[in-house]
A and B are shown apart, each in its own frame.
Chain A
Amino acid sequence: MTDATANQGPDGLLLATDGTPLKAKLRQSMKASRRRAFGLVLPLLLFVLASFVIPIIMLLWTGVSNDTYAANMPRSAPLMRAWDGSSQPTEAMAEAMVLDMIDARKAKTIGKVASRVNREQSGTRSLYTKSARRAAKMEPPFLDALVKADKDWADIETWRATKIAATSLTPAYYAAALDYKYTADGEFVEQDEVRQIHVQLFWKTIWVSGAVMLFCLLLGYPVAYLLSHLPAKKANLLMILVLLPFWTSLLVRTTAWIAMLQSQGVLNDIFVWLGITGDEQRFSLIYNMTGTLIAMTHILLPFMILPIYSVMRAIPPSHVRAAKSLGATNWTAFWRVYFPATIPGIGAGGLLVFILSIGYYITPALVGGQDGQLISNFIAYHMQRSLNWSLAAALGGILLAIVLVLYWLYDRIVGIDNMKLG
């Protein structure tokens, strides 16, 4: 019907039926199908952004910005920020302070302001609430009036603490999360020895995650090996024993471990019955670090077994046979041939277990007791109990950064596409 030359433009380009060059047409249709693919993803992308990403970003923002003081003490805040932090506080600063206190007391926000300043220097909470009560009756000169209300106002440290609180955008919380103190001069000083808890806690969390990962590997590797070398029927049957814990509720498993491990629990009863320990000296296996480690290993073990198993199943048995036929002993054949081939599975399982355990919250909270608490428990404590959201956000920001680095590593080594379930 058409002869070949009709589909060619003047400069020899191939043309589509409507006369546009074929290349442009192809590009156009590629663009359309790209848009269609993107359109399918878009609803979820927006949903995840709105319900998950933005909340986390907003929370992290409070870790560097806290405008409690600036919002409620509008006159005093700019003056405090402008003050150099070492010269005598001026009368203007005192006047703004008193006027703001009168307003804040009326608006019932003085308590919030007081606790904000109190975080910078303890003892200032009562100073603020007390002074605010008397502020309405104060007369100029306000500086003297403040000092008369409480002599702490003569102490320059009070004003320096206020200056830090007045600065909305501040590295103070991240400094606090790393056990440093951010001073009014803009310097970072190490916290007192007794108040250095966070870095230690981070190391403890990493240490626990590493230990759980190691235990999971030690327990998971033999099981994965057994499962991948048994005939399919038997392996499927045994696989149920791995998958059932995987599908059982976290709370159920934690409850089960409480029943197992507590001092009147099943395990201790068995120990007493076997004569390993006396009825009076039962082992304390729970509400401490031991309990956290045992329960977390049990809960995360399937996440180690499944990736190693799927890698092991893909290793041809002929490789080990070949090594043996070339004179390798059983051990050499395993260690030099088989084991290196399973490293991708170990990497995938290990990283997954590490990532999941570093953010663990429920199990340590329920079976950890005092010394089994991890960084997540601290974040929850500051969110719900002490209400120091900015510190919680800073701790969370650091934890999130560690997790994201590991996630990136996981993506590089394993690939997110290769994540499998069950």
Chain B
Amino acid sequence: MELPPYATLGQKIWHYTFYFICALIFLFLITPILIIAPLSFNAEPYFSFTEGMMSLDPEAYSMRWYEDILANGMVDPEQPRSWSLFWEWLWMGLSPVHTMPQGFFSDAWENAQWVRAMKNSFFIGFFATLVATVLGTLAAIGLSRSEMPYRGAIMSLLISPLIVPLVITAAGMFYFYSQVGLSQTYIGVILAHAALGTPFVIITVTATLVGFDKSLVRAGASMGAGPAKTFWKIQMPLILPGVVSGGLFAFITSFDEVVAVLFLAGPEHRTIPRQMYSGIREQISPTILAVATILVIISICLLVTMEMLRRRGERLRGIRS
């Protein structure tokens, strides 16, 4: 996109106008996501920049909303906190939860609403991802075989959870699961999220398998490896980047999903998005912005992981862009 030296004035004007328009669109894309970070340090309970913040007065900034994340729902948020004991406990790494320093931290771990939501999100996300990744990877391997019967029809059925409006999916699951006693249980939410996550696993793993050289499997077989061995030793390492990124997609789907949780989960199964949803609806406070900022940081980490996986996958399969 470089301007040739012979460009006329009109072309030059158009060229820079185009750049300007694109810059505005990028601004539209990224501003809302970046703006929540400074707003979350607001000392006042507002969603806008106060005058103090504009003049960079340190008094106008505070961590109170981040502390509020923990304080919500705790028995006694004011009790003394011994950070040194907490770091020591964290430093031990694998020490079990019950040896957590008593007082503030165990109270937060047990009772704080957002902490409970986080535990639920990770618990549900982990099992939904596990189910979706295992079943989805197997299916993707089957679907990429040329001899697979009714390939098109089955593929469109398996992708359909991505397409069907979430409210219909959630309503159907709510109706059916409540008849079989699965509504308001972890299992119901996990099943729902697994079903919603499988299309992503199928899409990413199938995409990886397109570049997969089948003669490698044959080579392995000709040297005496059984089907299981060729799968684990040859195929799996090569499609692993696709499997992992599919799993990440499935996890983020579960981690971000709120409609199914709204319909299927009881109050004790609230996840982070569900907690945010009621936070936005009921008592809108900058605590939500603090949580949102943390979530943005998590998604940046995920984005970096995905990009690294993609590059590694392309390198392994010998595709260069």
Beta-carbon contacts under 8 Å, A230-258 to B: 230, 232, 238, 240-245, 247-258
With most chain A CB atoms within 10 A of its CB, the pick from B28, B142, B179 is B142
Alpha-carbon distance A400/B195, docked complex (angstroms): 18
Q: Within the complex, which residue of B26, B28, B292 is in contact with A238, where a contact is CB–CB below 8 Å?
A: B26
Contact B165 A330 (CB under 8 A): no
What is the CB-to-nearest-CB distance from A347 to chain B, in angstroms, rounded to a whole number? Answer: 16
Q: Is B65's beta carbon under 8 Å from chain A?
A: no
Contact B159 A298 (CB under 8 A): no
Alpha-carbon distance A25/B181, docked complex (angstroms): 49
Contact B29 A248 (CB under 8 A): no
Q: Within the complex, which residue of A256, A380, A403 is in contact with B163, where a contact is CB–CB below 8 Å?
A: A403
Beta-carbon contacts under 8 Å, B179-218 to A: 179, 191-192, 194-195, 198, 200, 202-204, 206-207
Q: Within the complex, which residue of A254, A383, A403 is in contact with B263, where a contact is CB–CB below 8 Å?
A: A383
Q: Which residue of B lies closest to A43 (CB)?
A: B135
Contact B303 A240 (CB under 8 A): yes
Q: Which residue of B lies closest to A235 (CB)?
A: B1
Q: Is B161's beta carbon under 8 Å from chain A?
A: yes
Q: Which residue of B lies closest to A260 (CB)?
A: B32
Q: Is B104's beta carbon under 8 Å from chain A?
A: no
Alpha-carbon distance A337/B292, docked complex (angstroms): 44
Alpha-carbon distance A110/B131, docked complex (angstroms): 43
Q: A48-B195, A260-B31, A399-B165 are in contact. Are A251 and B18 (CB under 8 A)?
A: no
What is the CB-to-nearest-CB distance from B115 to chain A, in angstroms, rounded to a whole number? Answer: 18
Q: Is B241's beta carbon under 8 Å from chain A?
A: no
Contact B259 A255 (CB under 8 A): no
Contact A37 B28 (CB under 8 A): no
Q: Is B295's beta carbon under 8 Å from chain A?
A: yes
Contact A223 B26 (CB under 8 A): yes
Contact B166 A40 (CB under 8 A): no
Contacts of B155 in A (CB 8 A): 416-417
Alpha-carbon distance A122/B292, docked complex (angstroms): 46
What is the CB-to-nearest-CB distance from B304 to chain A, in angstroms, rounded to a whole number? Answer: 9
Alpha-carbon distance A41/B273, docked complex (angstroms): 32
Interface string of B143-165 (1 = CB under 8 A from A): 10101110010111111110111
Contact B48 A55 (CB under 8 A): no
Contacts of B22 in A (CB 8 A): 222-223, 226
Interface string of B247-264 (1 = CB under 8 A from A): 001001001101100110
Q: Is B288's beta carbon under 8 Å from chain A?
A: yes
What is the CB-to-nearest-CB distance from B257 to chain A, in angstroms, rounded to a whole number? Answer: 9
Q: Within the complex, which residue of B21, B47, B157 is in contact with A258, where a contact is CB–CB below 8 Å?
A: B47
Q: Which residue of A lies closest to B47 (CB)?
A: A259
Contact B299 A257 (CB under 8 A): no
Contact B135 A44 (CB under 8 A): yes
Q: A223-B22, A266-B48, A417-B155 are in contact. Are A230 and B1 (CB under 8 A)?
A: yes
Interface 9-mer from B33-41, B78-86, B91-99 = B33-41
Contacts of B25 in A (CB 8 A): 219, 222-223
Interface 9-mer from A137-145, A151-159, A181-189, A358-366 = A358-366
Beta-carbon contacts under 8 Å, B22-69 to A: 22, 25-26, 28-33, 35-36, 39, 46-49
Contacts of A243 in B (CB 8 A): 303
Alpha-carbon distance A327/B19, docked complex (angstroms): 26
Q: Is A28's beta carbon under 8 Å from chain B?
A: no
Contact A259 B167 (CB under 8 A): no
In terms of DSSP, what is the predominant structure of the interface of chain A? helix
Q: Is B300's beta carbon under 8 Å from chain A?
A: yes
Alpha-carbon distance A419/B161, docked complex (angstroms): 14
Contact A244 B139 (CB under 8 A): no
Q: A266-B49, A362-B277, A366-B281 are in contact. Are A245 and B259 (CB under 8 A)?
A: no
Q: Within the complex, which residue of A244, A269, A399 is in contact with B300, where a contact is CB–CB below 8 Å?
A: A244
With most chain A CB atoms within 10 A of its CB, the pick from B32, B154, B202 is B32
Q: Which residue of A lies closest to B134 (CB)?
A: A43
What is the CB-to-nearest-CB distance from A389 to chain B, in angstroms, rounded to a whole number? Answer: 7
Interface string of A35-59 (1 = CB under 8 A from B): 0111111011101100111111111
Q: Is B302's beta carbon under 8 Å from chain A?
A: yes
Alpha-carbon distance A34/B31, docked complex (angstroms): 51
Contacts of B194 in A (CB 8 A): 47, 51
Contacts of B277 in A (CB 8 A): 251, 362, 366
Contact A55 B172 (CB under 8 A): yes
Contact A248 B176 (CB under 8 A): no
Q: Which residue of B lies closest to A40 (CB)?
A: B142
Contacts of B303 in A (CB 8 A): 240, 243-244, 247
Contacts of A66 in B (CB 8 A): none
Interface string of B69-110 (1 = CB under 8 A from A): 000000000000000000000000000000000000000000
What is the CB-to-nearest-CB distance from B210 to chain A, in angstroms, rounded to a whole number? Answer: 9
Interface string of B290-319 (1 = CB under 8 A from A): 001001100110110010001000000000
Interface string of A186-230 (1 = CB under 8 A from B): 000000000000000000000000000000000100110010011
Contact A34 B171 (CB under 8 A): no
Alpha-carbon distance A298/B31, docked complex (angstroms): 11
| 5 sample A-B contacts, Cβ–Cβ < 8 Å, listed by A number | A47-B194, A62-B175, A256-B292, A366-B281, A421-B203
List 17 additional A-B contacts (Cβ < 8 Å) besides A44-B158, A262-B47, A380-B171.
A38-B148, A48-B157, A48-B158, A51-B173, A59-B168, A59-B172, A244-B30, A247-B252, A249-B292, A249-B299, A252-B36, A256-B32, A256-B292, A298-B29, A355-B163, A358-B165, A361-B167
Q: Using a CB–CB distance below 8 Å, which chain A residues touch chain B?
A: 30, 33-34, 36-41, 43-45, 47-48, 51-60, 62, 219, 222-223, 226, 229-230, 232, 238, 240-245, 247-260, 262, 264-266, 269, 298, 301, 330, 355, 358-362, 366, 376, 379-380, 383-384, 389, 392-393, 396, 399-400, 403, 407, 410-411, 416-417, 419-422
